[in-house]
């Protein structure tokens, strides 16, 4: 069986192999802290052994809930933000037909999963409610804390709409809540309304929760094989469990930290397949929230190539030399399209006739890599055999494990996010939330 692979040889113009290897003892120590729970944030290590601990019965329970929603709904709205949104979005976008939402007949195998609660856009919510009018729809409401404002607003609106379309009793059969086992407003509401619920384990933080029902239920509703996803994650769990030699997660973690030490402060995750756009969004949250603290951390950015070669390409080629790239290189496409011959050849493109579109894409990738390395942009390459459930499972676990190792090498707590609270405090104070009276007065005095 092929697997994803990490190649760091194109970073060696910026850091030596010895500089990368010099971080191996720190990576060993980080691996031990993750295994023994002796590092900072040790209460949030439930994701480390999660793939191998997922039971058949648990997967069957998720599949059953997904089947119920699929059979009864034209649309299922998955409500959540941050770690309660991005993982499912990344996998569903990565595996879906690029135009599945636009096909008038739909895709018979797929249920249309729509996301909400990931912003506070009034137009977004208005248009979503308008779309859902007169349609059979269901809701998966996801919030670990059960108190996050964005999803709570979306849920209040859509719950009211569903209840007015179906009546309270019927509506409650089409709502699934995924939240903490006991705490939070959502748990209390779900208990009172009698919703089907799934638990987000206490020891799994939001951005590490895609392999819990948070990610697995929306992915199953969209018609994808969550058993294959988990199987891929299990393979990567085994491949990264011990040692730093031949451990792709440790190699990625040590290389990016060596680059950071050499002044490369920004990491750009690059894809040549637009289906990976949201995997990059998920990755940005994973690394940004885990490492950006104590005045430290690589800034995670992303681009879709070749699209963004026509916008960001100039900066990457010749701008400030503080960046490195991590390229997700997908080896095989799902479909084959050959460029036709044109006798008139007015576009001068016959030199490509008979070639697959993917061959052109691969040469764009190779040409860009050589140009960027020549231009002083070190390049880590992660090859992914194909965009399938198994390889998404591998990628998810790979990036999670590497993130844990990398955060500990950087000497931060990779499992908290204290900085996320600052905007909430100000927003609540500005909105006169009960309990924020003093903060309200103080913030309003500043305006």
Residues binding ligand PA5 (CB under 6 A):
81-84, 143-145, 148, 151, 205-207, 289, 417
Shortest spacing between CB 199 and ligand PA5, in angstroms: 13
Cα–Cα separations (whole angstroms), residue 444 to 120, 438, 440, 447: 22, 10, 6, 5
263 secondary structure, DSSP code: T
Torsion of CA 178, 183, 185, 188, to 10 degrees: 80
Residue closer to ligand PA5 by CB (options 84, 271) is 84
Toward ligand PA5, which CB reaches closer, 177 or 251? 177
Q: What percent of the residues of the chain are helix, what percent strand, and what percent coil, each to the nearest 5?
A: 50, 15, 35
Catalytic residue flag (residue 289): yes
Element (H, E) at 299: strand 299-304
For ligand PA5, the closer of residues 138 and 206 by Cβ is: 206
Residue 44's nearest CA partner among 400, 428, 447 is 400
- To the nearest whole angstrom, how small is the minimum distance from the Cβ of residue 46 to ligand PA5? 13
Cα–Cα distances in angstroms (integers) from residue 419 to residues 295, 299, 416, 424, 446, in the given order: 11, 15, 9, 10, 21
Given the complex with ligand PA5, which of 151 and 248 has the nearer CB atom? 151
Angle between helices 185-193 and 149-166 (to 10 degrees): 10
Computed on alpha carbons and rounded to an integer, the radius of gyration of the chain in Å comes to 23
The CB-of-84 to ligand PA5 minimum distance in angstroms stands at 4
Q: How far is the CB of 243 from ligand PA5 (least distance, A)?
A: 29
Q: How far is the CB of 75 from ligand PA5 (least distance, A)?
A: 22
Annotated active-site residue in 310, 335, 336, 421:
310
Does 421 participate in catalysis according to the annotation? Answer: no
Exactly one of 289, 291, 365, 389 is catalytic; name it: 289
Query: Which of residues 131 and 153 has its CB atom nearest to ligand PA5 in the complex?
Result: 153
Using DSSP, state whether 381 is helix, strand or coil: strand
Tell me the closest approach of the beta carbon of residue 367 to ligand PA5, in angstroms.
37
From residue 216, give the alpha-carbon distance in Å to each of 57, 191, 194, 276, 333. Answer: 14, 22, 21, 18, 24
- Check 242, 424, 437, 444 and give the catalytic one: 424
Do 235 and 49 touch, CB atoms closer than 8 A?
A: no
**From residue 120, how far is each of 81, 123, 184, 333, 426 by CA, in Å?**
10, 9, 21, 36, 16
Residues in contact with 423: Cβ distance below 8 Å, sequence separation at least 6, in sequence order = none
The whole-angstrom separation of Cα 405 and Cα 291 is 11
3-state secondary structure of 114: strand
- Please indicate whether residue 264 is annotated as part of the active site: no
User: From CA 26, how far away is CA 19, in angstroms rounded?
Assistant: 12
User: Among residues 289 and 291, whose Cβ is nearest to ligand PA5?
Assistant: 289
State the SS3 of 419-438.
HHHHHHHHHHHHCCCCCCHH
The residue at minimum Cβ distance from ligand PA5 is 206
Q: Does an H or E element contain 171, and which? A: helix 168-173
Instruction: Say how many residues make up the chain.
Output: 447
State the nearest-atom distance from the C-beta of 118 to ligand PA5, in Å: 9
Query: Could you tell me the smallest distance in angstroms from the CB atom of residue 401 to ligand PA5?
Result: 16
Q: Among residues 363 and 420, whose Cβ is nearest to ligand PA5?
A: 420
Closest to ligand PA5 by CB, 188 vs 314, is 188
Q: Is 156 exposed, middle or buried (0-12, 13-18, 19+ CB in 10 A)?
A: exposed
- Residues with catalytic function: 289, 310, 424
């Amino acid at each position: 069986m092929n697997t994803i692979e990490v190649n760091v040889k194109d970073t060696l113009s910026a850091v030596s192999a010895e500089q990368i290897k010099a971080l191996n003892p720190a990576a060993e120590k980080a691996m031990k802290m993750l295994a023994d729970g002796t590092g900072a944030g040790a209460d949030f290590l439930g994701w480390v052994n999660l793939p191998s601990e997922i039971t058949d019965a648990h997967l069957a329970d998720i599949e059953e809930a997904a089947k119920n929603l699929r059979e009864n709904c034209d649309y299922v709205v998955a409500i959540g933000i941050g770690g309660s949104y991005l993982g499912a979005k990344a996998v569903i976008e990565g595996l879906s037909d690029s135009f599945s939402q636009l096909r008038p007949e739909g895709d018979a195998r797929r249920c249309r999963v729509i996301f909400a609660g990931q912003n506070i856009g009034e137009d977004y919510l208005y248009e979503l409610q308008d779309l859902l009018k007169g349609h059979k729809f269901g809701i998966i409401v996801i919030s670990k804390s059960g108190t996050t404002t964005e999803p709570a607003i979306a849920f209040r609106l859509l719950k009211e709409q569903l209840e007015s379309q179906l009546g309270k009793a019927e509506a409650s059969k089409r709502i699934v809540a995924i939240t903490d086992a006991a705490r939070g407003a959502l748990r209390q509401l779900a208990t009172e309304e009698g919703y089907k619920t799934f638990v987000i384990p206490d020891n799994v933080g939001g951005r590490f929760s895609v392999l819990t029902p948070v990610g697995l239920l929306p992915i199953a509703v969209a018609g994808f094989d969550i058993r294959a996803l988990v199987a891929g994650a299990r393979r990567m769990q085994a491949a990264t469990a011990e040692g730093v030699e031949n451990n792709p997660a440790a190699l990625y973690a040590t290389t990016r930290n060596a680059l950071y030490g050499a002044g490369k402060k920004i990491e750009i995750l690059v894809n040549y397949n637009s289906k990976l756009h949201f995997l990059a969004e998920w990755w940005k949250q994973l690394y940004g929230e885990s490492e950006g603290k104590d005045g430290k951390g690589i800034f995670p950015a992303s681009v879709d190539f070749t699209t963004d070669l026509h916008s960001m390409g100039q900066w990457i080629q010749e701008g400030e030399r503080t960046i490195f790239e991590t390229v997700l290189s997908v080896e095989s496409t799902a479909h084959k399209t050959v460029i036709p011959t044109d006798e008139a050849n007015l576009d001068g493109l016959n030199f490509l006739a008979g070639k697959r579109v993917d061959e052109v894409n691969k040469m764009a990738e190779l040409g860009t890599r050589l140009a960027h390395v020549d231009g002083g942009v070190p390049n880590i390459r992660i090859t992914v055999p194909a965009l399938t459930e198994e390889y998404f499972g591998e990628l998810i676990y790979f990036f999670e494990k590497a993130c844990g190792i990398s955060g500990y090498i950087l000497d931060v707590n990779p499992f908290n996010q204290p900085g996320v609270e600052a905007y909430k405090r100000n927003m609540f104070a500005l909105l006169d939330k009960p309990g924020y009276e003093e903060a309200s007065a103080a913030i309003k005095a500043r305006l």
